[in-house]
Structure 1
Amino acid sequence: MKELWKLFIVFCRIGGFTFGGGYAMLPLIQKEIVEKNKWATDEEIIDYYAIGQCTPGIIAVNTATFIGYKRKGIIGALVATLGMIFPSVVIITVITAFFTNFQEYTVIKHAFAGIRAAVVALVANTIVQMWGKTVKDWIGIIIFAAAFSSIAFMKVSPIIVVIISAIVGIAIKYRRADAK
């Protein structure tokens, strides 16, 4: 019961910083899940994010579900998911109740502009950290460049890009194993 409560609290804390969506939460997930609680490795978090990108739903919620399941099975998945969404439900309820009254205030507009800038910085920092842990050779750089170009410039579905990248990764691994 104690670990279930901890799962809920940790994901509740992460879920409280939903500005910018799932990608903006990645640094918080990495710090809380990998560094502080050691519930997963960096590689597992990246894998969970990749799978979460391909499955229906919000990436951060899917990641919480995967981690909760890894820790405590189905009940852990439910508790972690509820922890992740609980702050959003509260925040959205409060904002909905009051935002229309305050949205025209200059200070509110500036606050949201600052939040958006901070979210971009969080995402950029995460990309830099993930790069060093996942792109380890020229093949990784080529897969990254192809995936990025496909999504950013050709508007290919991220699901297709992840599936193709996985197939390419598997093919290269088996080709290298056969060469040895």
Structure 2
Amino acid sequence: MNKEKKDTISLRQMFLIFLKISSFTFGGGYTIVPVMKDEFSIKRNLISEDEMIDLVAIANSGPGSMAINCAILAGYRMHGIIGAILATIASAIPSLVIITLISYFYRAFSENYYVQAALTGMGGIIAAILVWTSIDMIRQALKNNIYISAIIMVSAFVASYIVNINTGIIMLVTGIFGFVYYSLVEKYEGGKN
């Protein structure tokens, strides 16, 4: 864990930031990552960039919406259980409101040319955000241990897309490998000092 001094934020500020993020981030899980990183790592120094990547990895491996999982973990990291609860509520409110409104006006939305055009345009923007987020996460992951990280990424890609191994099995195997490898590396490096 990074020992440098971190800034602090009130529960109210945290709630409003998550409410804002969830209100203006469309496209699901990975589109929220750069916004959370910008808000909590870059602007406010509340969570280091390495910790943010770890939170995203953990959120992605758990059941449920990745955006909500990220909010739970980031809220917990900043303010414990109360932070996790408030971050979850703030992240869920905009989605509930938007889905409720859309359900009332579904027929008008589904047949409206302008709404369909806007949704199609948003799809392209979301795809670009996902590509940028993936590149940023790869760059961050390769920063510390380039060789082992590259081997794990390439192996996971080959196992998933070429050999067709179940994603859950790939995550389990790479998680165990990472735990064992980094435990041994830390133990070895700790013994050298």
TM (normalized to structure 2)?
0.83
Give the direction of change, closer, same or farther, for the CA distance of 1:28–1:139 in structure 2 (3 Å limit). Answer: same
Determine if contact 1:9/1:83 at 8 Å carries over to the other structure: yes
| Runs of at least 5 residues in structure 2 that lack an aligned partner in the other structure | 1-8
Deviation for aligned residue 1:113 = 0.8
Q: Which residue of structure 1 lines up, in the alignment, with residue 21 of structure 2?
A: 14
Structure 1 partner of 2:84: 77
Q: 1:157 to 1:33 in 2, by over 3 A?
A: farther
Q: Residue in 1 aligned with 2:149?
A: 140
Alpha-carbon distance in 2 for matches of 1:133, 1:69: 22
Provide the residue aligned with 1:169 in structure 2. Answer: 178
Q: 1:97 to 1:147 in 2, by over 3 A?
A: same
| Number of equivalent positions | 179
Aligned to 2:52: 45
Superposition pairs of residues 1-180 of structure 1, within 5 angstroms: 3-136=10-143, 137-173=146-182, 174=184, 178=188
Identity value in percent? 32
Q: State the alpha-carbon separation in 2 of the partners of residues 122 and 146 from structure 1.
A: 25
Contact 2:53 2:140 in 1 (8 A): no
DSSP 3-state at the match of 1:16: helix
Q: Which runs of 5+ in 1 are unaligned?
A: none
Asked if 2 retains the 8 angstrom alpha-carbon contact of 1:54 and 1:162, the reply is yes
Q: CA deviation at 1:160?
A: 3.0
Residues 3 and 176 (structure 1), Cα distance of their counterparts in 2 relative to 1, 3 Å cut: closer
Q: Is the 8 A contact 1:65 1:80 kept in 2?
A: yes
Structure 2 distance, partners of 1:19, 1:121, is 12
Q: Is the 8 A contact 1:4 1:76 kept in 2?
A: yes
Contact 2:29 2:66 in 1 (8 A): yes
Offset of 1:138 from its aligned partner? 2.1
Higher RCO (C-alpha under 8 Å, 6+ residues apart): 1
Aligned-pair RMSD on alpha carbons? 2.2
Q: CA deviation at 1:178?
A: 4.4
Aligned CA distance change for structure 1 residues 73 and 172 (closer, same or farther; 3 Å): closer
Q: Which amino acid is 2:71 matched to?
A: A
Which residue identity is paired with 1:151?
A: S
Over 3 Å counting, the alpha-carbon distance change for 1:45 and 1:8 in structure 2 is same
